Structure 1
Amino acid sequence: MAGVDYEHGVVPQDQRRGWMSIAAVWIAIGIDLSGAFLGAALGAGLSFSSALAATMLGSLLLGVLAMFCARVGAATGLSTAMISRAVFGRAGGIVLTLMMTLSLTGWFAVQAGFFGTNLQIATRELVGVDLPTAVFVAGGGILMMLTAIWGYRSISSLSNVAVPLLLILLAVGVVRSLGDGRSANLSDPVDATFTFGGAVSLVMGIFVLGAVSSPDMARWARTPRAAMAAAFVGFFFGNSIIIVVALVMTRALKQEEIMQMFFTVGMGLSAVVVLVLAQWTTNSTNVYSAALSFSSISNRIDRRITTVVLGVTGIVIAALGTDWFVSFISAMGTMIAPFGGVYLATYLVERGSTRFAVEAEHPTLHVLPMLAWAVGILVSLATTKPSDGLGLGLFTLTTIPALDGLLVAFAVQTLLTMAVRRGTEVAA
């Protein structure tokens, strides 16, 4: 069964797993260098208490969002791409699938670039060898791609080994960074460069694509309740752990480079282990979900071949440079989060129907969900301050633009669906 991931159908019940195994995958995904960079940025741009509160609130909201998205995946047994077809229709689903594929491949490139840059630094510090960054990008990218080729089972096995080791190493790093009286540095004043709402939005945005695409993993859960438990634990802790670790170490050591901070506290080899495991688990999932999405377009598309093609593409992009990190995660929060609101509303309103059945016939396009998605994107753009990322800053709702777009898209889709249903009943 290796390599068989049911991209065109439902995961059989005898292949499904308990909530702890799935939660471990999401925790492993959340512990990555992008979270470390965000934690360092928040540490330099907000007071410690505000940065910590923003991290906890953003991760809490993300965990709640992931719970509901995961329930849809477990209840239907479908991947995110298959769900998009049920929601948007055949053509509309392809549009969303291509966007998800592009976004996830972009994330793969960003993470591979982080991996290469930081492993180059670590290798130079440990053994004095200064190899080109592209060598590490290619080597790491291939390693991540190979795990993804074997599918969810391989990713789950890797996560079960990596998570305990990562948690131990990160905890030791925090304890050491706070030694020698450095804990007093946490309260040092800084010039605020983030708004609180903007910081919360970035915390959500860094993993919001994972929450919205959580059905890719949740469909492996034995029950919807198990999927929801796994999602909350996995996303809340997975998203917050690395951000908090980087935040504490940045403030305590007065540095912003995560690898250098581990060397400062005498954990150079541990830094390499953390780097390799964190990026390996996270990026394998990025290219896995990208390939899973794209291969759902047609039964003739092989997921494993697609994994290789997208993986190589991501490696090339990473080797060319990925300086667009903050803008990228802001754009993902803007574009992807509203989609979650649309399919959640569709599932809740129409869960008694056959719409999400694998064998269901779908029209070319469902117009109303596409309209709701577009409205959600526009609201996210309108409520995002230009200083916080891609946006216009025209007005404020929750102060968290990614959440604004999701909630508005959810509301619009719910109202439109109910209005059409009521109109149909009246006409009858």
Structure 2
Amino acid sequence: MKKDHAADTDFALTHVSDSHRKGFWPMLVVMLGFTFFSASMWSGGKLGTGLTAWQLIATVMTGNLLLGCYTGLLASIAAKTGLSTHLLARFSFGEKGSYLPSFLLSITQVGWFGVGVAMFALPVQKVTGWNIHALIIGSGLLMTATAWFGFRALTILSFIAVPSIAILGSLSVGKAFTEFGGLDAWFAMTPSEPMGLFTAIGICVASFISGGTLTPDFTRFAKNKKTAVSTTVIAFFLGNSLMFLFGAVGAAFYQQSDISDVLMNQGMIVWAMVILGLNIWTTNDNALYASGLGFSNITGLPKKLVVLANGVIGTLAALYLYNNFVGWLSLLNTMLPSIGGILIADYFMVRKRLYGTLDDTHFDTVRPTAIIAWAAGVVAAKTLPGIAPVNSVLAAIGVYLVAEQLMGSIKSAESEAA
């Protein structure tokens, strides 16, 4: 029997309707709001102190090209089906099996939300002396309130935040060049503690691979595949690259990997608090939105209620998460990329782009081939040399295809024997 989801304008548990699909510009600002991520500037700061300018450019272009390819494939699937990451996982992982990727992805986003709240509140507290707990509770609840309104609120907020952060980052880079001798001075710099290129590319990819796996949560609203893929690739290749460059240039000249410290040295901290606050706000709303979809898949509860609960939890745990979650994220980044690899392999290679509607599809409870492939991706990320997230995706795809072939052969043999 078909379920009525007509009242769910965020389509948490069904396909996005054609009437709610968006064109190029609304999708582009949402995806740029997703990738204009303050943590990418922090990661860029780390690269800026360990790489030459040419190495940095090559690293950022390579890392974000890899991210663009990965997320572009996921965007294509989402635009065609109108389904979120969590609902797509039902085809490959099974109906109950999809709870594994939903839980891993969602708990990561709740964690990022808490980190983001603290990332905003701490610099403000440093400058103003205001009570840190009041800042965290106030900003966390405000971010949660806007996430309550769903995709439309994300679009409006992104239209404000994206140009603002682009202007701030450009001003910061321009001021650094003016004070220290311009591009020539930057290209002449050599790091005191050089970083290996594989390590640097790994940092670039790992900085957004978990978020990138959730690309379908947003691109399912795209009017068509061309819009979904083009806006996603632009956002990751251009938007995320700009974030890295904004963080790296200041770090190279001021020897401060924290963008807030760089902006403080430049006398731009007041504007920085406002604009970085907007930037973190968009990212945090995306995180809450995605986590709400994931936990809705697990619990069947309305997304808005789950968003409210996740926002309160993330806000109350913000300082703890800020101080402890980043280390755990390195573990999660080995556990998440293989999920996207399995979604890609199942849609393009196993089912040949032939997904039915949710109501007309009979899902297995759990599909062991996906669980095995996910585990193989985790092992590959932790043990193989090279770029860990890329190893995870490729291993998961390879193992999933082999496991599906073997499972098909076993079922054929059983049918013939019967």
Change (3 A) 1:372 1:104: same
Q: CA deviation at 1:172?
A: 1.5
2:392 alignment counterpart: 405
**CA separation of 1:185 and 1:254: change in aligned 2, threshold 3 A:** farther
Amino acid at match of 1:267: M
Q: How far apart in 2 are the matches of 1:193 and 1:107?
A: 29
Q: Distance in 2 between matches of 1:244 and 1:355?
A: 42
- Secondary structure of the corresponding residue to residue 229 of structure 1: helix
Matched letter for residue 407 of structure 1: L
| CA apart distance, 1:107 | 1.1
Counting only pairs closer than 5 Å after superposition, residues 126-165 of structure 1 correspond to structure 2 as: 129-165=128-164
How many residue pairs were aligned?
407
- State whether residues 347 and 354 of structure 2, in contact with CA within 8 Å, keep that contact through their aligned partners in structure 1: no
Query: What residue in structure 2 maps to residue 21 of structure 1?
Result: 26
The aligned amino acid for 1:337 is P
Q: Secondary structure at the match of 1:92?
A: coil
Give CA-to-partner distance per residue, 1:138-157, whole Å, 9 cap, x none: 22211211111000111011
Q: Say whether 1:284 aligns with 2:289.
A: no
Pairing 1:89–2:88 present: no
For residue 15 of structure 1, report the CA deviation from its aligned partner: 0.7
Aligned to 2:38: 33
Whichever residue aligns with residue 222 of structure 1, its letter is K
**Residues 3, 83 of structure 1: alpha-carbon distance in 2 compared, 3 angstrom cutoff:** closer
After superposition, the Cα gap between the structure-2 partners of 1:331 and 1:193, relative to the gap in structure 1 and judged at 3 Å, is farther
Partner of 2:3: none
Whether the aligned pair in 2 keeps the contact of 1:112 and 1:318 (CA below 8 Å) is yes
**Cα 1:209–1:73, aligned 2, differ >3 Å: closer, same or farther?**
same
1:178 alignment partner, SS class: helix
Structure 2: runs of 5+ lacking an equivalent:
1-5
Contact in 1 for aligned 2:38/2:279 (Cα 8 Å): yes
CA distance in 2, matches of 1:64, 1:18: 21
Q: Secondary structure at the match of 2:223?
A: coil
- Where 1:50 maps in the other structure, the secondary structure is helix
Is the deviation greater in 258-267 or in 403-412?
258-267
Q: Choose from 51, 57, 62 the match for 1:57.
A: 62
Over residues 25-54 of structure 1, what are the superposed CA-to-partner deviations in whole Å (9 max), with x where a residue is unaligned? 121222232112111111223333323321
Structure 1 residues 93-130: Cα deviation after superposition (integer angstroms, max 9, x where no partner) = 11221112211111111111211112223xx2xxxx31
Q: CA deviation at 1:312?
A: 1.0
Q: Distance between the aligned counterparts of 2:395 and 2:119, measured in 1?
A: 34
- The structural deviation recorded for 1:375 is 0.6
**TM-score, with structure 2 as normaliser:** 0.91
- Native 8 Å contact 1:205 1:332 kept in 2: no
Q: In structure 1, what residue type is equivalent to 2:40? A: G
In the TM superposition, residue 326 of structure 1 has moved relative to its aligned partner by 4.7
Could you tell which deviates more after superposition, 275-284 or 234-243?
A: 234-243
Q: How does 1:41-190 map to 2 (within 5 A)?
A: 41-121=46-126, 124=127, 129-183=128-182, 184-185=185-186, 187-190=188-191
Q: Secondary structure at the match of 1:297?
A: helix
How far apart, CA to CA, are the structure 2 residues paired with 1:311 and 1:66?
26
Residues 396-416 of structure 1 show CA distances to partners (whole Å, capped at 9, x for unaligned) of 2xx211001101101211232
Number of the residue aligned with 1:269 = 270
Give the aligned partner of residue 195 of structure 1. 196
Deviation at 1:2, TM superposition (A): 9.3
Query: Aligned with 2:317: secondary structure?
Result: helix
Partner of 2:340 in structure 1?
340
Asked if the contact 2:81/2:355 (under 8 Å) is kept, the reply is no
Match for residue 311 of structure 1?
311
Alignment of 1:341-360 (within 5 A): 341-348=341-348, 349-354=350-355, 357-360=358-361
Counterpart in the other structure of 2:376: 375
CA–CA distance in structure 2, aligned partners of residues 224 and 161 of structure 1: 26
Please say if residues 42 and 199 of structure 1, whose CA atoms lie closer than 8 Å, have aligned partners that are also in contact. yes
Q: Considering only aligned residues, what root-mean-square deviation do their CA atoms show, in Å?
A: 2.1
Q: Distance between the aligned counterparts of 2:141 and 2:398, measured in 1?
A: 42
For residues 412 and 357 of structure 2, what CA distance do their matches in structure 1 show? 22
2:401 to 383, 399, 414: 414
Q: Name the aligned partner's letter for residue 225 of structure 2.
A: P
Deviation at 1:159, TM superposition (A): 0.6
Q: Contact 2:341–2:396 (CA<8 Å) still a contact in 1? A: yes
> Structure 1 stretches of 5 or more lacking a match?
384-395
Which letter maps to 2:393? L
Asked whether the 8 Å contact 2:295–2:306 carries over to 1, the reply is yes
Q: Which residue of 2 aligns with 1:302?
A: 302
Task: Name 1:250's counterpart in structure 2.
Answer: 251
Equivalent-residue separation in structure 1 for 2:282 and 2:409 (angstroms): 47
Name the CA distance, whole Å, in 2 between partners of 1:247 and 1:225. 32
Conservation of the 8 A alpha-carbon contact between 1:212 and 1:340: yes
- Normalised by the size of structure 1, how large is the TM-score? 0.89
What SS class does the counterpart of residue 78 from structure 1 fall into? coil
- The structural deviation recorded for 1:331 is 2.1
- What is the alpha-carbon distance in structure 2 between the residues aligned to residue 257 and residue 74 of structure 1? 37
1: CA distance, partners of 2:210 / 2:318:
19
Alignment-mate amino acid for residue 69 of structure 1: L
